[in-house]
Amino acid sequence: MDEFFQIEKHIGEVKAIIGLQFSYEQEAVDVDAMSYEDFGEQPEAPVPKAESEGESEAAPEEGADGDKPKEEWKKENFTWSKTDKKSMNLPQIFINCKGENTVHEVRTAEQYSTSQYEAISKSLDEFCQKVTTEKEYIYVQVVFQE
């Protein structure tokens, strides 16, 4: 996951990925198996009063343009899934990052050729053709038999 984000940060946006592998990798996260953190409402910490009566409470700071200050970031305002020790594979990361308009295809190597080397060559040729002609994000898995 970190490597994917580092590639996008330092090299550029990833538009397409091909996986030449020996086993199918699930492209969707099992939403039913996920659990979520529940933070609930946290009581706000009391604001300390001024030490002497002569001091008045300071007015809230205003931005450079006279805007109101930004709201404080609170973790309770977001939905957080528990992903500890639950890894995601590359198709799941790619499809989650790129959204619904991602094309995901699974092919067997035998669809290209009975020779593994020829299947690799033909699948890469087809993949390169799709990358240059399609406007959508593409993830292709080519699964070989061991």
| Phi, psi for residue 104 in degrees, rounded to 5 | -120, 125
10-residue averages of pLDDT along the chain (146 residues): 85 90 78 59 56 52 61 72 67 83 90 93 94 89 88
Q: Give the model's pLDDT for residue 134.
A: 85
- Fill in the DSSP letter of residue 16: E
Written as six digits, the tokens of 5 are: 């984000």
Q: How far apart are CA 119 and CA 126, in angstroms?
A: 11
Q: How far apart are CA 137 and CA 145, in angstroms?
A: 26
Q: Report domain extents, the chain.
A: 1-6+16-26+86-146
